[in-house]
Amino acid sequence: MPAFADKLAAAAERNRSLLCVGLDPDPARMPVAGVAEFNRAIIDATSDLVCAYKPNLAFYEALGPAGLDALRATLDAIPDWVPVIADAKRGDLDNSSAGYARALFDVWDFDAATFHPYMGRDSLAPFLARPERGILVLCRTSNPSAREFQDLRVTPMAGGDTLPMYEYVAMTAVKWNDNGNVGLVVGATYPDELERVRDLCPDMPILIPGVGTQEGALERSVAVGVDERGRNAIVNASRGVIYAGDDPTTYPDAARNAAQRLRDTINRVLEDRGLGWNA
Amino acid sequence: MPAFADKLAAAAERNRSLLCVGLDPDPARMPVAGVAEFNRAIIDATSDLVCAYKPNLAFYEALGPAGLDALRATLDAIPDWVPVIADAKRGDLDNSSAGYARALFDVWDFDAATFHPYMGRDSLAPFLARPERGILVLCRTSNPSAREFQDLRVTPMAGGDTLPMYEYVAMTAVKWNDNGNVGLVVGATYPDELERVRDLCPDMPILIPGVGTQEGALERSVAVGVDERGRNAIVNASRGVIYAGDDPTTYPDAARNAAQRLRDTINRVLEDRGLGWNA
């Protein structure tokens, strides 16, 4: 199979899109009852507008065995050429880490997954050893409490000036990238931090969640989050797309319209910088 | 239901044990084929010797839907009065965090679970809000790479002297403990760090994984890991107990013997300090 980065680039190019849609089914908000049905309709309405899909496993695990059946049906509904990122936020050690690698990459066959850095390099070894899969390391997350640890000033192990924890995580992720399969997660809600991380990691894919209804934050995030070719940013919107409509008949159209608006906004930013898609 | 800390204390007192057995079924090492059968035999052989069981979810997720069926059968086989800790190492935000809380505490009905601190307080809010469940925050893990981030010297947000990241996590966990349901995870492989964490958090339960075959590390960990009453340490052994025997007929006896030796070693440390179990 192709490396995650290549599959991502091909899907982005084909759909002229850096938009990722988060498939986070919440029974309290879905306009129809079935998770698989809901996701399939969203996918059918948006698969020509995205560079990736990102199911967050929490939403499926919360529904018990039926939720995992729905996740399987969801993955089956995604076209083969669209990469799928497991927003799993795992992080364990030794045999347990190997178990999660098997679960995410072999049982579920995700193209990439998100991970906690706190336990260090050996905790990700079974993932890093899979050059065809993407390893997206949580760096600066989009929630308000992110600052509690991620903004702490730390002294590098090798000595030198202090720097924020999230920058040290980004610099460490570069060292983990022997197989070229490492990327980062930086929330759209913190564009200054995103800009700094892009400077530190010029070539890595960056997953940028937290894009809501504020297009200002979106535009700034895209401008500073892409690489120098205007690529390698995975701009994720979840609720703003999948719950754009609440009518059980027209919600797929509403999702499509929301996804199209976001993709177009992103593409205008790229074009303004002379980094649009090739004809 | 009783608070996790109370259920833990009652089971520990009843079995005169601080030993937790990690139920981490690995098909490559089990002497029988069925995960549920294997776990049930281990549980039947050890449930009067432990203060808790700790399945690591990675081992079950690695086996796909059948693994989760086996996890359900495993939980059904554990006596009601023995607390069960989900070694899940989750950590997400907002609705996703709420989804994991539902999955772990409502769908699976675990008494406690382990969590990554990196995303900060709000990421654990749906868990902290469940006073009857235990929230065990990864502080200083037992793997070699733990030092990569956990030993970094950090400057507290409020200013003051630098201190190691894991100490700052421990001090922050104290602030999260409004509902009295927070504990920590500190590996037995780092007894100096464990001693320091116990000083910072005199009353919290501490899950101490990484107890292998080295009884020296075990004894030191118990001595410094318990609270001043000689309680509130959850000393976990996984492979050293469940794979103590490889004969398909006698492995439960071997597991029982291994668990008994560990429990007795732990209890000798308590007795030496005048902190043994009441008559």
**What mean pLDDT comes out for the span A273-278?**
93
Distance between first and last Cα of chain A? 27
What pLDDT score does B279 carry?
Answer: 58
- Chain B partners within 8 Å of A103 (Cβ): 58, 61-62, 64
pLDDT digits (tens, 9 = 90+) for B108-150: 999 999 999 999 999 999 999 999 999 999 999 999 999 999 9
Residue A56 per-residue DSSP state: B
What pLDDT score does A279 carry?
Answer: 58
B84 CA to chain A: closest CA distance, Å? Answer: 18
The residues with which A243 forms a beta bridge, in sequence order, are none
Decide if A145 and B58 are in contact by the 8 Å CB cutoff. no
- Chain B partners within 8 Å of A97 (Cβ): 58
Look at residue A215 and tell me whether its pLDDT is greater than 80: no
pLDDT digits (tens, 9 = 90+) for A76-119: 999 999 999 999 999 999 999 999 999 999 999 999 999 999 99
Decide if A65 and B63 are in contact by the 8 Å CB cutoff. no
Nearest residue on chain B to A147, alpha-carbon basis: B120
Q: Using CA atoms of A34, B64, A100, B210 in order, give the dihedral in degrees to the nearest 10.
A: 120
CB pairs under 8 A between A and B: 194
Decide if B91 and A89 are in contact by the 8 Å CB cutoff. yes
pLDDT digits (tens, 9 = 90+) for B33-60: 999 999 999 999 999 999 999 999 999 9
Nearest to A149 among B68, B96, B118 (CB): B118
pLDDT band at B213 (very low <50, low <70, confident <90, very high): low
Nearest residue on chain B to A143, alpha-carbon basis: B93
CA atoms within 13 Å, Cβ hemisphere of B112:
31
Provide the residue type at A8 as one letter: L
Nearest to B145 among A89, A96, A121 (CB): A121
Look at residue A73 and tell me whether its pLDDT is greater than 80: yes
Q: What distances in angstroms separate CA A185 from CA A39, A70, A132, A134, A146, one per listed residue?
A: 24, 26, 19, 12, 12
Look at residue A217 and tell me whether its pLDDT is greater than 90: no
What pLDDT score does B2 carry?
Answer: 83
What pLDDT score does A211 carry?
Answer: 87
Measured in whole angstroms, the distance separating CA A76 from the mean position of its chain's CA atoms is 19
Task: Determine contact, residues B85/B20, Cβ cutoff 8 Å.
Answer: yes
Nearest residue on chain B to A104, alpha-carbon basis: B62
Decide if B165 and A153 are in contact by the 8 Å CB cutoff. no
**What mean pLDDT comes out for the span A152-172?**
95
How many H helices and E strands in chain B?
A: 12, 10
**Residue among B171, B108, B185, B105 at smallest CA distance from B140:** B185
B89 CA to chain A: closest CA distance, Å? Answer: 7
- Chain B partners within 8 Å of A175 (Cβ): none
What is the value of ipTM here, to two decimals? 0.97
Spatial distance between the Cα atoms of A103 and B42, rounded to a whole number of angstroms: 24
A150 CA to chain B: closest CA distance, Å? Answer: 7
What pLDDT score does B215 carry?
Answer: 59
B3 CA to chain A: closest CA distance, Å? Answer: 22
Nearest to B145 among A65, A89, A123 (CB): A123
Mean of all residue pLDDT scores within chain B: 96
Decide if B58 and A97 are in contact by the 8 Å CB cutoff. yes
Spatial distance between the Cα atoms of A252 and A248, rounded to a whole number of angstroms: 9
